[in-house]
Structure formats: structure tokens, C-alpha cells
């Protein structure tokens, strides 16, 4: 099963750093904070059957492997689409999530995170779509239900599907490291706020 490290390896840090006008160390820290949060937001939405169906529909729209083939080129990322994804994932809590991420050590600031999330979101969806479809083959039978997508997302986060928001917060807290403080718990509470 794919891991967050596999997903992180797809992210062209140097391109992101250049695009956002920051050094690679800052870009790396911001990406390592934003990716688990995006996956966690998707996982929180997948806990609800309507949210899972919506997510599966979004994955079908992002199943073209071209974005990931031969390495991601940031210039090929549709940031307007990424903004829609971020809005759907975090809903009314988007600004709170961006603010919380911006306050973590090393992640830059809220302005940087706000610019980064729409760049990362289409890459994350393309990566998850590839995993969900079995790497390009027809979707496996177990992936036809919300449990399938929830299990895949939970697996990426290092746990099983079906986690509660509190469990999600604990997972995010451990992924984001001790320096994140209570961010994991805060995000765990916020991440149910996307479109269900």
C-alpha cells in the first residue's frame, strides 16, 4: 500500500520553492505539513457516504496519469481546480485550517500555505486516483464503496479507515511532529467541515 512518503516523493520541491519565492527548506516544511492535512481532510470527508461518493466522483475526474507521469511539472497544475478541491475538502473551515497550518513551526506562514494548498491538491488527487484505481487498471471491487476509499486514505495516513475526528487528529498530530503542538487535535476537529 502507498504511503505519504510515496506521495511526498512526487512533489517537485524546487519548483514549488521557486514559484512561491521561498527557499527549499521552507517549501519542504510547508509541503510536509500540508500533504497530511489534505489527505486527512479527504479521509474525514470519506467517512460520510455522500462525502465518499463525492470524493470518488472527484477521483474519476482526476484519474488522468499525465500529471504524475515522468515527474510533476508545477506549470501543468491547474491551480483554479486546486482551489475548488481545497474548498470542497475543508468547507467553511478552510481559513481556520490554513491559519493553523501557517502557525506550525517551519511551515512558513498562512499566506504561503494558502498559495501552496491549491498547487498540491490536484497532485494529491491524481496520486490517490492512481492508487484507488489499482495503478491505472479498473477499480478493484473493494474500492467501490466508501470503505474502500476510506481504507485507502486511512492507509496513507498510517491507520485504518473509519477513524473518528479525534483519531484523525491524533494521526495528524503524530505525522506533523511534536513541534506542531495541538495542531493535530485542532485539525481533527476542523476536518469534518468539508462537503459531505
- Separation of CA 96 from chain center: 16
Exposure string for 13-33, b = 16+ CB within 10 A, e = fewer: bebbbebbebeeebbbbbbbb
List per-residue pLDDT tens for the chain, 196 residues long.
567 888 889 899 999 999 999 999 999 989 988 898 888 888 887 777 887 788 888 888 887 778 888 889 999 999 999 999 999 888 888 888 888 887 765 566 888 999 999 999 999 998 888 887 776 433 343 334 445 777 777 777 675 444 333 444 444 444 444 434 445 555 555 554 444 3
pLDDT (tens digit per residue) in 38-75? 888 888 877 778 877 888 888 888 877 788 888 899 99
Dist CA 51 CA 195 (whole Å):
6
What does the block give as the cell for 33?
505539513
Query: Environment class of residue 70 by beta-carbon count within 10 Å: exposed (0-12), middle (13-18) or buried (19+)?
Result: exposed
Closest CA to 100 of 91, 92, 110, 108: 110
Q: Are 39 and 6 in contact (CB under 8 A)?
A: no
Q: Are 49 and 146 in contact (CB under 8 A)?
A: yes
Angle, helices 49-61/79-90, rounded to nearest 10 degrees: 170
For the full predicted model, state whether its pTM sits above 0.85: no
What does the block give as the cell for 21?
519565492
Dist CA 196 CA 194 (whole Å):
6
Amino acid at each position: 500500500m502507498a504511503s505519504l512518503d510515496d506521495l511526498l516523493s512526487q512533489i517537485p520541491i524546487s519548483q514549488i520553492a521557486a514559484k512561491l519565492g521561498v527557499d527549499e527548506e521552507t517549501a519542504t516544511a510547508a509541503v510536509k505539513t500540508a500533504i497530511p492535512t489534505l489527505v486527512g481532510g479527504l479521509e474525514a470527508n470519506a467517512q460520510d457516504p455522500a462525502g465518499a461518493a463525492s470524493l470518488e466522483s472527484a477521483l474519476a475526474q482526476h484519474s488522468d496519469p499525465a500529471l504524475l507521469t515522468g515527474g510533476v511539472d508545477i506549470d501543468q497544475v491547474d491551480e483554479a481546480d486546486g482551489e475548488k478541491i481545497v474548498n470542497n475538502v475543508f468547507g467553511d473551515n478552510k481559513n481556520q485550517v490554513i491559519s493553523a497550518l501557517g502557525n506550525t513551526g517551519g511551515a512558513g506562514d498562512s499566506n504561503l500555505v494558502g498559495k501552496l494548498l491549491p498547487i498540491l491538491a490536484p497532485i494529491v488527487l491524481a496520486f490517490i486516483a492512481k492508487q484507488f484505481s489499482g495503478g491505472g487498471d479498473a477499480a478493484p471491487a473493494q474500492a467501490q464503496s466508501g470503505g474502500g476509499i476510506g481504507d485507502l486514505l486511512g492507509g496513507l495516513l498510517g491507520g485504518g479507515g473509519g477513524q473518528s475526528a479525534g483519531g484523525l487528529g491524533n494521526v495528524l498530530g503524530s505525522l506533523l511532529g511534536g513541534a506542531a503542538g495541538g495542531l493535530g487535535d485542532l485539525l481533527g476537529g476542523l476536518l469534518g467541515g468539508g462537503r459531505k
